[in-house]
Structure 1
Amino acid sequence: MGYKVAVVGATGAVGREILRILAERNFPIDEIVALASARSVGREVSFGDKKVLKVQNLETFDFGGWDLALFSPGGAVSAKYAPRAAAKGCIVVDNTSHFRMEPGVPLVVPEVNASALKKARRGIIANPNCSTAQMMVALKPLHDLFDIQRVVVSTYQAVSGAGKSGMDELYHQTKGSFVHDAPEVSQFTKQIAFNVIPHIDRFMDDGATKEEWKMTVETRKILDPDIKVLATCVRVPVFIGHSEAISIECAKPIDLDAAYKALRAAPGVIVRDEREDGGYVTPLECVGDDDTYISRLRIDPTVENGLAFWCVADNLRKGAALNAVQIAESLDKQKLLGPDTPLGKPVERPEEPPED
């Protein structure tokens, strides 16, 4: 059985990646449509190696009779159109941050909490922040083993997390530096080429950034509400691939051999830790891969029951598009897709936010 699937935000970096991954993984599709804003109508996007889709207008599209919509158009657009799709019985997987912390909207990393999909009371499922997603894949087997109490994480996040415009800015600044052009700064708060910026998203009252707040609250919603998280999120001059230096403090004593064994057995995890020159994975090496890579695993002697490690993943795949498709696969596996399922029934649409 195949499904009728809509990809919303199909012309963006994540939308294109969703289309690519749906084709790569042979997700069961009878009909697929690419949707975007009116200004993109008529543009062409690829679905697999042979099929080209012409973009249709999200604003006038009728989601009635469609089974699944994978959204990545930006928070304001999702806020308006995701409830409309759900109201027609089309299950929504949303990549934006808009619905993540709302009650009745599961926040899902399939390797960690796929069972939460059954709780999608509003017909909407949220994809977590890119930096949170890969960390959850790494922490889940360790939490099961040692009962994590506290996480301290420093991220090194690629510019693709800011979209194509972020990648363009790094490219132009890097190129311009060789001909002594003054760097143009628009997407980031400071020059990103040959620099690092300890600032992602807006600052909050307590001095943390919104990105750091997201990692904290999303970890609690996905993995365990009692875990304490301190995050420092940094933008680095890397095109694709987020890296994280993670330290955990646990309730139970750490057995390093057991940690290696649990991580190697965990779905979506690859351990490469050779303790020699080059015996670890960098973001450049993970581009295009589906897995989350773990290296530099070692005891943290500064705290009781402490463990530290290095974690990298392709942020456009596991951090966004791949996780969304894996959610769709989990919905299919649990028989939660389609009009005859509890999630596939039209839901009452809450009041929409006022137009800007």
Structure 2
Amino acid sequence: MNEAETMASVKITKAILSITGEHIRSLNTQAAIALNRGNGSPGTLIERPIDERDTYQVLDLAQAVSLPVDRDILHTLPQEYLVDTIEEIKNPIGMTGRRLEGRVHLVTAATTAMNNLVNCVEELGVMVEGLVFQPLAAGLSVLTEDEIELGVTLVEIGASTTNIAVYHGSAIRHSAVIPLGASSVTNDIAVMLQIGVNEAEEIKIKYASAKSSMSSEKLEIDLPEKEGQLKRSIPEQEVSSYVEARMQEIFQMVIREISRADIKEPLTYGIVLTGGGAQLRNIMALAEDNLNVKVRIGKPANIEGITDVAEDPIYATALGLLLWPFMANDHVRIPKPRHKGIKGIFQKIRHTIEDLF
């Protein structure tokens, strides 16, 4: 943080943080309200235009799910509305009807994990203004409107987790966390070659290919020498085979998560890979082979003025956090968080977005 302050010549006093981990859970839910109002005559009901209060009421009801005492709602993301028998409505305000239904995607997280993250940052004198599930932030910076509308899966390969967000119909349909990431690949190399993690990371970055058939059989990689050991080397293709095996496992888990999205139509735009793990050489080719869809590397596209950073998928989440207050459609409203660390954070997010729009 000190380096960032020095480079930008500003003092950091507020921050929006990303969060991920195995404790994250998501679900789809829905709720409905009656819109009828009497016109003064007994037993007479009339249709009336839907206003913003109605949408807030139905979203509040949709997020009123029973959660364990150690969990809180992180995001409430509207998917679509139904007015009477009319489905797939993005904005029902101004329409008339007797019944309004809202469908939402909820993301929940362990309260302790959120508290710990917030407390660590606030101990540095920085006020935390929001927590954002990592792939949602990354999606803001790398996905296009067409992709979100016609269907796409964002796969953000981080260090310890791979985060997934499935979009269709301009809304998120499923999200999940896979407890494997780029560091799993590094650890595999370290174990198989009996070298340190730092040396394994260096070999992964310099030589490894996600698809072993696209690596060299002849190129020998010199391994770090330890005292009392003979000089060792290993073919690049063998190292790449360790990488490929782990990445295939991750992609199989991605397939399982996509199937849980329960989307009848195909995802037109396939997969967008982002995060640090997306920098692996030939990862696009391996992903297309394993996932049987078209794949692209997601680089931040919605940020101007920092093109050098925007060319790197590792910064997708960080740049997405900059966009979050302006572009998110989150509706989280928690009346009274149970712990001090996240007090007021979710209300701040919502009020900021309301003020902007």
Q: Given the two structures, how large is their TM-score scaled by the length of structure 2?
A: 0.31
Please identify the structure whose Cα radius of gyration is greater.
2
Report the structure, 1 or 2, having the larger helix content: 2
Q: Given the two structures, how large is their TM-score scaled by the length of structure 1?
A: 0.31
